[in-house]
Copies of this chain bind each other. A is one copy, B any other.
């Protein structure tokens, strides 16, 4: 069959655009920390669902929840909004997540791994465990203390002379990278012992903090928050398993008790 001068041939049925959204490994949770406008929550939901992400968690949304402004901006991604869970604190929102990324563009006074979107995606795909990505408030982003809760910072490499990503754009770029990785994810070798959920690590850090307060470790007061951030990053870094977290908590108890020698007692 001969075609016109237009070199394009009509065809039915062929499409190169296959969905790359796959089911396992677990999809990351998107955590919006102190979001301000309902509109932006809706836009973030829309961004997520475009790439198959459905689990949204809200930490202390400024205008409460549900928010009537969210729905219209979600352009149909209502299921994400309906299933959104609300938490009072970021710690609670990520308590069941083993790997947590903090999305930020600003430099932080924290020594933690900084990864790009692809590296984040491949770590999420590779972990086989529940993961979360934290996004800060529209204006201010994440507080340093919130970033310190994460295992790594994820930063979208951006024009250094014009860095102006809004919340939904940050969400869509990371969701997009995740979806690419999820498609490519091969059956992953699970670590022998997966990292403990963040709630357990927080328990350890809380215990340590109490003991250090009792010992007058935090001094001077002006440095206390920075010191706490450092301690958090130090003890989040190992990715200890539940068993290891328990062991460290036992060690901690032993260290602070009065000296005695059980083997002789």
Task: Give min CB distance, A212 to chain B, whole Å.
Answer: 6
Which residues of chain B have C-beta atoms less than 8 A from A190's C-beta? 113-115
Chain A, residues 142-179, CB within 8 Å of chain B (1/0): the string is 00000010000101111110111100110011001001
Interchain CA distance A6-B155 in the complex, whole Å: 22
Question: Which positions in A face B, CB cutoff 8 Å?
Answer: 6, 8-12, 14-21, 46-47, 49-52, 75-77, 105, 107, 109-116, 118-119, 148, 153, 155-160, 162-165, 168-169, 172-173, 176, 179-180, 183-193, 208, 211-212, 214-221, 230-231, 234, 237-241, 243-244, 247-248, 251-252, 254-257, 259-265
The answer to whether B191 and A11 have CB atoms under 8 Å apart is no
- Using known A-B contacts A157-B20, A169-B47, A176-B173, determine if residue A107 contacts B15 with beta carbons closer than 8 Å: yes
Which residues of chain B have C-beta atoms less than 8 A from A111's C-beta? 8-11, 14, 191-193, 241, 243-244
Which 9 A-B pairs give the minimum distances between C-beta atoms?
Answer: A16-B114, A157-B185, A238-B238, A216-B262, A116-B188, A17-B155, A216-B261, A217-B254, A20-B157
The answer to whether B208 and A164 have CB atoms under 8 Å apart is no
Task: Give min CB distance, A100 to chain B, whole Å.
Answer: 13
